[in-house]
Amino acid sequence: MSLLMTRRTALISAAATTAVFALPSRSRAATAHEVMMLTKSPDDPALRNIFSPRLLVVESGDTVKFVPTEKTHNSASIRGMIPEGAETWKGKINQEIEVTLTLPGFYGYECTPHHAMGMVGLVVVKGDGMMTNLEAAKAAKLRGKGADVFAEIWAEVGGLDLQA
């Protein structure tokens, strides 16, 4: 009887171990975020050609959907302003584009026809190694008002607690 109990206990233990490893892991569900592409701000009509919000902080694996609420806009990653190894994107004019961001870091983006008018934004993806591309993103060459708007965005980033 003792041998039978040991064998039975071993089989039950093996089955329980297999069941535990087969269970799905309890990871955080990815979140979807929206960024509106606007010709003028609903809050301040003097602000033209903007992304709202222009600064977004997300978790790794989250999706950002760029929504063209008005015509003539798109979203495209800016060369030199995304983490090494991350996928670039370039949406078509007047079309939504969804981007899933898996690598932590700083992702600069623009409206291709309105970059020089200051239509730029930044997504910060939190996680290990997120600071790796910060200096490169800050040093990227920008044209026109896009450089001025990014100076404001970098000041906002400096005021964030990105460790939480």
Task: List, as residue ranges, the binding site.
Answer: 73, 111, 114, 119
Return the H-helix or E-strand segment holding 8: helix 2-22
Pairing of strands 55-59, 120-126: parallel
How far apart (Å, rounded) are the C-alpha atoms in residues 53 and 35?
6
Place of tokens 């044209």: 143
- What residues form the annotated binding site for Cu cation? 73, 111, 114, 119
DSSP for 136-164 reads HHHHS---THHHHHHHHHHHHHHTS-TT-
